[in-house]
Amino acid sequence: MSFRPGSRIFSSFRPFFQRANARRRVNTAASAEPAGFAKFWNSPIGPKTVHFWAPVMKWGMVLAGASDFSRPAESLSFTQNFALMCTGAIWTRWCFVIRPKNIALAGVNFLVFCVGATQVGRIYAYNKSIEGKAKGEMEDLKHTAETAEKAIK
């Protein structure tokens, strides 16, 4: 027997490499990628699942909240908009935790949070402006009462 260490090592490991190559060929041939629309249609967040339709329907909440931007702040409900803001924040977080990860739903929930936060900010600013007017009116009323009292004496 001749001294050929490389040949002996290669022949002893040859079956392992042959099986790995065979496995690779079998796996790639068995799982062919579907076409573009078929891949979307059969995906875990495709149109066959609630993970697709939830964000589509939730856009109605975003549009309804955005349409309230033109309403005066006195006619907005603080509790309703605060609930929208909290719901949007909580579900944005959970959209990244649950499986399958649903980025579309997270985006819609983030916009629900933004709409609620904007409306809560408008309501807060309106209430602060009313407090300022009330203080000013009270001071004017006191001044008027004092001048009327002096005029009566």
How many Å apart are CA 11 and CA 8, to the nearest integer?
5
Q: What is the pLDDT along the chain (153 residues), one digit of tens a residue?
A: 566 766 766 677 666 666 655 555 555 555 667 777 788 788 877 888 887 888 889 899 899 989 999 999 899 999 999 999 999 999 999 988 888 888 889 999 999 999 999 999 999 999 988 887 767 766 776 777 777 777 776
Model confidence, pTM? 0.62
- Both tokens of 48, joined, read 């066959």
Amino acid identity for residue 94 in this structure: W
Q: Tell me which residue has tokens 């799982």.
A: 31
Supply 40's token pair: 């979307």
How far is residue 113's CA from residue 46's CA, in Å, rounded to a whole number?
25
Alpha carbons 142 and 153: distance in angstroms, whole number: 17
